[in-house]
Chain A
Amino acid sequence: GAGVSQSPSNKVTEKGKDVELRCDPISGHTALYWYRQSLGQGLEFLIYFQGNSAPDKSGLPSDRFSAERTGGSVSTLTIQRTQQEDSAVYLCASSLWGGVGDTQYFGPGTRLTVL
């Protein structure tokens, strides 16, 4: 079946603009995660959705970042008033139930460049 998809694959924007990044998880997966990877670095956790529970937003770096997940499926990560330090690859992952020991399946990522 289809894996996790993300769009766009690349996004170039100007400082101060808002951007929206989209993630389509694997069908039937109840958990969805967003991570950020800066150049040459590991992944930084941003936010986690699990079913109908309130999302875990503990990794969001500032109030310019927000995410929502509609209908328990597609998720959108929004960055308002982008800054150059927001430039990174944004990765989305989904897993079947989101608990301990569950495997996360990653999308190809969106490379965001803020000029």
Chain B
Amino acid sequence: SQQGEEDPQALSIQEGENATMNCSYKTSINNLQWYRQNSGRGLVHLILIRSNEREKHSGRLRVTLDTSKKSSSLLITASRAADTASYFCATEDSWGKLQFGAGTQVVVTP
């Protein structure tokens, strides 16, 4: 079963706009990670946020984590066509195993 659930399932925006997607999970976590997947193949690690962190930035990415609500959000600012991809959150258990959500499919049109 999947630990995380992303919302929305799909998102269509224009270049320059911001994209926000959310992830909710069920059980306690050590860390939460976000990955990007292009064309249904390999995943690329974007950012890791630890359970004692509330916000983290990496370039145009901003991730928040609210452990009391068991939720996280990923914000992509000033989106580009190259940001078109599926984005997955993954929660990490005590042994480092990741459980992925079903993903948010983002389409950025020029």
Contacts and interface: CB of A to CB of B under 8 A. Distances in A.
A106 interface: yes
Which 7 residue pairs are nearest across A and B when measured between Cβ atoms? A42-B100, A43-B100, A106-B43, A42-B102, A106-B42, A108-B42, A100-B30
A104 B50 contact: no
A100 B96 contact: yes
A71 interface: no
B26 interface: no
Interface of A: 4, 31, 33, 35, 37, 40-45, 48, 56, 89, 91, 93, 95, 98-109
B69 interface: no
A103 B45 contact: yes
A104 B98 contact: yes
A101 B45 contact: no
B96 A98 contact: yes
Contact of A104 (B30, B45, B99, B101): B45
